[in-house]
Amino acid sequence: MLACLSLCVCAAPAPAAPSVVTINADHVTIINGEPVFPLGFTLGPPPDGKTPEGKDGLQELADAGATCLRTGPVGGGWDEAALDAEQRWQDAAAEHGLYCWVFLRELGSVSRDQPQCEALLRQVVTRFRDHPGLGFWKGEDEPAWGKKPVEPIRRAYKIIKELDPNHPVQLTQAPRNTVEELRAYNTACDITACDIYPISYPPGVHSDRPNKEISMVGDYTRTMVEVAEGKLPVWMVLQIAFSGVIKPGKTLRFPTYAQERFMAYQAIINGARGLVFFGGNLTQAMTPEDAALGWKTRFWNRVLRPLMDEIGRYSPLHPALIAPDSGLPVQVQVKQAFGGEADPRQIEFCVRETPDALYLLACKREGATVEVEFSGLPPDRGKGDVLYEEPRVVNMQDGTFTDWFGPFEVHVYRFGRG
C-alpha cells in the first residue's frame, strides 16, 4: 500500500506555473516566451459551455487559435460571488490553454480617498496574479468618452503594476474624442484599444465621423496608432453585435463573413497588434439554440471560425502577424479603374518579413474596382502564393507585380525567399 501511495504521489501533476505576459519592442505580445497575435472574445462561451456537437466551448476557441477571454463581473461589481466566478473562469481558461483578460470595472479607477476600493483592487490582483489562466487586466472602459479623470486611473494602474509586473493593463476607448484627449490615458496602460462597430441600420451609427462605410475600422486604427505614439501596442475591438442593433426599435444586424474579414485585415494592415470580437454573449442577439449553449455559436461557425483559420495562432499567416513591419520601400499605383476614381489611397497594405518568407497584406476600401501595381519589393522573388485563394498565384518581376481589387476585397501574398 505504501508503494502504491508513493507511486500515486509521484504521478500527481505539478501545479501549472504562473503565466508571464510581456510586450516586445515591436509591440508583439509574448506569452510564456512565445510571441502571439492576441485574438480575444468579450465575452466568450461560459466556462462549462458546449458547442452544438457537444465539444467543450472553450476548447473549440483554443483549437481555432484564440488567445484570451474577457472575464470579470457582468452586471455588477466585485464581491465574493464575482471572485468565485472569476476563479472558475481562470481555472477553465488554464485548462484549455487560454488566458483571462480581467475587467476590473469599478476598481479600474482609485482615488486616494477610496481606501476600500484600493483594498479590494489589491485583493483581486493578489488573488489572481499567479494564476496560469491570467493574461491581461482591463482597466476603465471608454474613459475619455466618459470624461473619467486620468489621475485615479493612473493610480490604479500603478497599484496593479506594483503588485503584478507580469501582466499588461489594457484600456479600451470609444470611437470618440480627439487624439490629445485619448493620449492623456497612455500613462495608465500598457495596451491601448478602440471599439468600433460599423454594421447597423442606418450604417455607421456607432461612429460620429462622416465615413459610414466599414472602412472606418482602418480610420480608427490609424487614429489609435497616432494616439499610441509608437509607445504602446494597439488592439481593435470588432463587432459581433452591440447595443446599436439589439435595443428596442433597432434592426438586428450582424457582419457577414466578408465584412468581418475585411475589418479584421484592415485593422491589422493599419497597425493593430491584437483583435477582440465583442457581443457573442448578448442574449438579444441569440437564437434559441445559441441561448441554450450560452454563446452565439451560429455566428462563430459561419463567420468567426473561418476567419480564425486565416489569422489564428495556428494559421499559415501567424508568422507574419507577429513579425515587425518591413522597411521595404513598397509603393502602389492604380493601373486601371472601373466604376470610380483611380485613387491609390484606396489600397491599404503592410509588408512583413520572416526568416522564411515575405508577406504583403493588402485591402481595398470602397470605390472602384481597380488593377494595381505593387513595386519596391526584392527583385529576387518570383511567384507568390495568394493565401486562402489557392491555387491562385501572382508573378513578380524586378520587384513588381499586379493584381485586381474590388471594393472591400482583401488579398494576402506570400513570397518565399529567393
pLDDT for 418: 64
Q: Is the pLDDT of residue 119 over 80?
A: yes
Higher pLDDT, 48 or 4: 48
Nearest to 67 by CA among 93, 103, 92: 93
At residue 127, the 3 state secondary structure works out as: helix
353 and 271 in a single domain? The answer is: no
Count of the separate structural domains present in the chain = 2
Report how far residue 90's alpha carbon sits from residue 95's, in angstroms, rounded to the nearest whole number. 9
Cα 140 to chain centroid, rounded: 18
Query: Considering the entire predicted model, what is its pTM?
Result: 0.94
Q: Is the pLDDT of residue 49 over 60?
A: yes
Report how far residue 209's alpha carbon sits from residue 241's, in angstroms, rounded to the nearest whole number. 20
List, for residues 316-346, the tens digit of each pLDDT value. 999 999 999 999 999 999 999 998 788 889 9
pLDDT for 167: 98
List, for residues 219-249, the tens digit of each pLDDT value. 999 999 999 999 999 999 999 999 999 999 9
159 and 116 in a single domain? The answer is: yes
**Long-range contacts of residues 127-130, Cβ cutoff 8 Å, at least 24 apart:** 127/83, 128/86, 128/90, 128/100, 128/102, 129/18, 129/163, 129/164, 129/166, 129/167, 130/18
70 and 187 in a single domain? The answer is: yes
List, for residues 173-186, the tens digit of each pLDDT value. 999 999 999 999 99
DSSP string, 215-283: THHHHHHHHHHHHHTTSS-EEEEEES--HHHHSTTSPP----HHHHHHHHHHHHHTT-SEEEEE-TT-G
- In a domain, residue 3? The reply is no
Report how far residue 128's alpha carbon sits from residue 82's, in angstroms, rounded to the nearest whole number. 13
- In a domain, residue 2? The reply is no
pLDDT for 1: 32
Report how far residue 291's alpha carbon sits from residue 287's, in angstroms, rounded to the nearest whole number. 6
Q: Is the pLDDT of residue 51 over 50?
A: yes
DSSP state of 395: E
Q: Is the pLDDT of residue 7 over 70?
A: no
What whole-number percentage of the chain has pLDDT above 70? 96
Select the highest-mean-pLDDT range: 75-79, 153-157, 335-339, 343-347: 153-157
pLDDT for 3: 39
Paired sense of beta strands 274-278 and 357-364, if any? unpaired
DSSP string, 22-37: EE-TTS-EEETTEEE-
Q: Of 267, 287, 321, which residue constitutes the final position of a domain?
A: 321
The parent domain of residue 270 ranges over 15-321
Q: Is the pLDDT of residue 273 over 60?
A: yes
Query: Residue holding cell 485615479?
Result: 152
- In a domain, residue 6? The reply is no
